Amino acid sequence: MKTVLIFVLAGALMGVIAASLVVPPALSWYTAPGGLPKGAQIQALVEIPEVIRYATTRLMRGQAIGGACGAVLGLLVGIFFVRKNSPVSTPLSRSGTPA
């Protein structure tokens, strides 16, 4: 049980780290306007607090999803690892001692 929990926590940590690396570029790609001629400037008025709230909310949501996916993968790997390394029981003879 301890080994499985270690794999779950390690998987969650790796999922959060992976999401921290993947989400910001994906977020900037998703919010960038397309179809503008080269060198054209975007004229827009934005509310900076709303932009910050949006970006941090999406980043934290991505990290939560990455952590959950990593935890599930860690659980599966941990269960597989524990089953693979579990000792094989030896059949008992008629006298009750191992054969």
- CB of 76 closer than 8 Å to CB of 84: no
Classify residue 90: in a domain, yes or no. Answer: no
Q: How many domains are contained in the chain? A: 1
Closest-CA residue to 56 (of 18, 21, 27): 27
**pLDDT digit string (tens) for 51-86?**
888 888 999 999 999 999 999 999 999 999 888 887
Torsion angles phi and psi, residue 43, rounded to 5: -105, 110
Dihedral sign of CA atoms 79, 83, 84, 86 in order: positive
Q: Which domain holds residue 16?
A: 2-33+53-83
Residue 8 in any domain: the answer is yes
In a domain, 63, yes or no: yes
Phi/psi of residue 98, each to 5°?
Answer: -60, 145
Per-residue pLDDT reduced to its tens digit, 10-29: 999 999 999 999 988 888 77
